[in-house]
Amino acid sequence: MDNKAIVKFCKEVGCCDICCLRYLGLKNPATYENYKEYIHKYTESGVEVENNSEEQQITSNSVDNINGNTDVNGCDDEPPKKKKKISICVSCFGILQEENWSECFNMVKETLEKKRYECSTFACALSAPIATLLRDKAIILHLSDAFKDYKEDTLTPLKEAWKWTFGVKLAAQIGMTLDSGAISPLLITLNMEYPDEPQELEILKQLSPSLFQERQKQRRKFTVEFTRPSVEQAMDKISLEQLKGVDKWNKIPSVDIEAKCVSAMCVHAPSYLGGRYIKLSRELPQTPWLIKGKRMMESSVQEIIFEPIAKVFDLTPEDVEHRLKFMSAGREDVDVRCLGDGRPFAIEITDPRRDLTGDELKRVCEEISKGGQVIVQKLMHVSRNELSELKKGEETKCKTYEALCIKLGNENPEPNILNGKTPVAVTEEDIRRINEYRNTEAEDEAKIVVKQRTPIRVLHRRPLLTRTRRIYDVVARRVPDYPQLFTLTIRTEAGTYVKEWCHGEFGRTTPSLRDAAGFRADILALDVTAVLLDWPRPQ
């Protein structure tokens, strides 16, 4: 291709220097960072020609002299300095013209000052007007007509050229290093709007009437008339002849007003913390417990863990609600303790100002634990990928429980505990029957396979289903000095309702402890003693 001829063509239709390089298909970031040097190579005279502002100024001064603008003493009046008028690029609407960047820089600076990020790098992104797609297409059609070997896929995307030019200048303005979004956690996004965009896109209704007639019929589905996908679809098969047939589009229309920056959004990638909590209270839900909008308990595991983290980041209660998210490998009931190494959990912190240091994480654990209800021995940074292991473990992990149970009576119509005869007591034979009970083959890993209907106590939030669950091991022991009581150490798969297995819940769980023991029993207290999931892993 004749690169000089293409640059000349782009200049004649009204493209800025950077857009000229875009239509050449140049994709080296250094080219755009030093665009003035590179455009110099492709201009016929070897002199930068954008806007001809210097030439216009010289001409203006010459006209003043011809008109006799001198003082009575023969000294020339110094002409007032006029702001150079910059022609707005017909392709990017001025987005790539350096003269229009100062307002964008200021908006980014103001946002960064408010958010106070402690980050040395950033990535940048551009939300460009949809109308730039139409402009790109129109210029490409004209280029393809003028230069037969010009290919439509030559064009370098606007967003890439913007990043390599504006992004580099922005880095110097804010004292940070420009990096890719895959590396830097801080993303700065500028939203640009072109005031005349709605009117300009109206021509697509003439070029692709069937598409927009169909969208008009489906207003509920397509609430916005022009979207990026719909515009791309409409332009897919447009020819130069079609475009020239539309009023004012026989050539590339000039632009009277540049695109404006309407917002600068700065967002830090979420930070994730992982740990295990030990719950020592039997009056503490895992998350805030509300029934019909009324709080049922004063606090929760989640709130106790969130409080010191909110202090470190200086978060308001509203911030906490929207920017902190609690995740865990399952949950225990309000009246169930979680002991041993605790239950794995994670916290997502949205748009953090920075990452917490090791010392800060240690102090957060101390603050959580000092109340005595919840203990977190260690918190560490985890990756987003590790969260999937946590959620997967919620369904696949095994748990060990310790249950304190009471023998209510033997298998007869009127239990001894109620008729005043010999007191009910747990016997060695009772213990033997429980420990030896199984309803599976000897070689099966699980001793007991149960079918459980959704417990009545959780029917308000879970569908009524019958679930099959596996109990891998059950060990019963008598409680010294308490003849009616016995303990059970139970190892189960995730999702087993241990309380319902112990008391049977009116036959909704089969088989239950009653089938194994040969007597009616109930559960008095339950503890989770081990959540068998290796998470989080030390780094």
Quick one: average pLDDT of 208-236?
83
Instruction: Tell me the pLDDT tens digit for each residue of 491-502.
Output: 999 999 999 999
- Whether residues 104 and 237 share a domain: the answer is yes
Tokens of 374: 């919840």
If asked whether residues 331 and 376 sit together in one domain, one would say yes
Q: Answer yes or no: 359 catalytic.
A: no
User: Cis ω on the peptide bond leading into residue 511 (within 30° of 0)?
Assistant: yes
Answer yes or no: is 280 within a domain.
Answer: yes
Q: Do 341 and 389 belong together in one domain? A: yes
* 410/391 same-domain check: no
For residue 48, the model assigns a pLDDT of: 41
- Which pLDDT belongs to residue 359? 97
pLDDT band at 78; cut points 50, 70, 90: low
In angstroms, the CA 130 to CA 202 distance is 12
The alpha carbon of 243 is separated from its chain's Cα centroid by a whole number of angstroms, namely 40
Shared-domain flag, residues 524 and 403: yes
The token pair at 287 is 């998350």
Question: Strand 337-349 vs strand 271-279: parallel, antiparallel, or unpaired?
Answer: antiparallel
Statement to judge: residues 416 and 383 lie in one domain: no
pLDDT band at 421; cut points 50, 70, 90: low
Report the relative pairing of strands 519-532 and 260-268 from DSSP bridges. Answer: unpaired
The answer to whether residue 73 sits within a structural domain is no
Residues 104-137: tens digit of each pLDDT = 999 999 999 999 999 999 999 999 999 999 999 9
The amino acid present at 48, given as its one-letter code, is E
User: How many angstroms separate the CA atoms of 321 and 334, rounded?
Assistant: 22
- CATH number of the domain to which 449 belongs: 3.30.70.3190
Lowest mean pLDDT among 276-280, 310-314, 419-423: 419-423
The alpha carbon of residue 92 and the mean position of all alpha carbons in its chain are separated, in whole angstroms, by 30
Of 70 and 308, the one with more pLDDT: 308
Percent of all residues in the chain with a pLDDT value above 70, rounded to a whole number: 89
Q: Is the peptide bond before 195 cis (omega within 30 degrees of 0)?
A: no
Q: Are residues 524 and 452 in the same domain?
A: yes
Question: Mean per-residue pLDDT for 212-219?
Answer: 77
Where residue 68 falls among pLDDT bands split at 50, 70, 90?
Answer: very low
Residue of higher predicted confidence among 329 and 73: 329
Is residue 66 pLDDT above 90, yes or no?
no
Q: Which of 196, 333, 341, 351 is catalytic?
A: 333
Q: Residues 310, 258: one domain?
A: no
- Domain boundary, last residue among 339, 370, 396: 396
- Decide: 26 and 35 in contact? Cβ < 8 Å: no
CATH number, residue 275: 3.30.70.2510
Residue 28 to residue 38: CA distance in whole angstroms: 11
Residue 215: per-residue pLDDT: 76
Residue-level pLDDT at 370: 97
Domain assignment of residue 59, yes or no: no
Report whether pLDDT(73) > 70: no
**β 337-349/398-410 pair status:** unpaired
Considering the domain architecture, whether residues 448 and 516 belong to the same structural domain is answered as yes
Residue that finishes a domain, picked among 251, 266, 281: 266
Query: Does residue 395 register a pLDDT over 60?
Result: yes
> For residue 309, what are the domain limits?
270-396
Average pLDDT in the 447-462 region?
A: 93
Alpha carbon distance 94, 100 (integer Å): 7
CA end-to-end span of the chain: 54
Q: For residues 508 and 465, give the distance between their C-alpha atoms in angstroms, rounded to a whole number.
A: 11
- Answer yes or no: is 31 within a domain: no
Helices (H) and strands (E) in the chain, counts: 22, 16
Task: Give the C-alpha separation, 475 to 489, whole Å.
Answer: 5
Taking a C-beta distance cutoff of 8 angstroms, is the pair 394, 332 a contact? no
Residue type for 480, please? Answer: P
> Which secondary structure element, helix H or strand E, spans residue 190, and what is its range?
strand 186-193
Query: For residue 116, is it within any domain?
Result: yes
Q: Domain check: are 386 and 487 in the same one?
A: no
Residue 276 included in any domain: yes
Are residues 247 and 124 part of one domain?
yes
Query: What is the pairing mode between strands 448-453 and 466-478?
Result: antiparallel
Beta bridge partners of 264: 190
For residue 411, the model assigns a pLDDT of 66
Q: What is the reported pTM?
A: 0.80
At a CB cut-off of 8 Å and minimum separation 6, what does 140 contact?
A: 23, 150, 152, 154, 155
| Residue 463 pLDDT | 93
What's the pLDDT band for 67 if we cut at 50, 70, 90? very low
How many domains does the chain divide into? 3
Question: How much is the mean pLDDT over the chain?
Answer: 89
Domain final position from 221, 242, 266: 266
Average pLDDT over residues 453-459: 92
Express each pLDDT in 332-351 by its tens digit. 999 999 999 999 999 999 99
Please report whether residue 66 resides in a domain: no
Residue 61 lies in a domain: no
pLDDT in the model for residue 294: 87
Q: pLDDT tens digits for 283-327?
A: 999 999 988 888 889 999 999 999 999 999 999 999 999 999 999
- Coil, strand, or helix at residue 344? strand
387 and 433 together in one domain: no
Overall average pLDDT of the 505-513 stretch: 96
User: Average pLDDT, stretch 185-214?
Assistant: 93
137-160 pLDDT, tens digit per residue, is: 999 999 999 999 999 899 999 999
What's the residue count for the chain? 539
User: What is the structure's pLDDT at 46?
Assistant: 47
Phi-psi region of 148 (alpha: psi -120 to 50; beta: other; left: phi over 0): alpha
Query: Which residues is 347 bridged to in the sheet?
Result: 273, 326
To the nearest whole percent, how much of the chain has pLDDT over 90?
77
Q: Quick one: average pLDDT of 5-30?
A: 96
What is the model's pLDDT at position 80?
52
Tens of pLDDT, residue by residue over 515-525, are 999 999 999 99
